[in-house]
Amino acid sequence: MQVVFYISGAIAILATVLMLTRLNAVHALLYLVVSLLAIAIVFYVLGAALAAALEVIIYAGAIMVLFVFVVMLLNLGETAVVEERNLLTVSMWVGPAILSAVLIAEFLYILSEESHANFPAPVEPKQVAAALYAPYLIGVELASMLLLAGVVGAYHPAGAE
Amino acid sequence: MIREGFILASILFALGTAGVLVRRNIMFMLMSIEVMLNAAGLAFIVAGARWSEPDGQILFLFILAMAAAEVSVGLAIVLRFYLQYKLLDADAASKMRG
Q: Do B35 and A150 touch (CB under 8 A)?
A: no
Tell me the pLDDT band of A123, cut-offs 50, 70 and 90. Answer: confident
Chain A residues whose CB is inside 8 A of the B11 CB are: 13
Residue in chain B closest to A124 (alpha carbons) equals B54
- Alpha-carbon span A103 to B90, nearest angstrom: 35
Contact A12, B41 (CB under 8 A): no
Residue in chain B closest to A59 (alpha carbons) equals B64
- Chain segment B24-72, per-residue pLDDT in tens: 888 889 999 999 999 999 999 999 988 888 899 999 999 999 999 999 9
Q: What is the pLDDT of residue A77?
A: 55
C-alpha count within 13 angstroms, C-beta hemisphere, residue B40 = 16
Q: Give the predicted TM-score (pTM) of the model.
A: 0.86
State yes or no: pLDDT of B98 exceeds 90.
no
How far does A100 lie from chain B, in Å, by closest CA?
Answer: 18
Tell me the pLDDT band of A9, cut-offs 50, 70 and 90. Answer: very high
- The candidate with the shortest Cα–Cα distance to B67, out of A39, A21, A92, A42, is A39
The CA R_g of chain B, rounded to the nearest whole Å, is 16
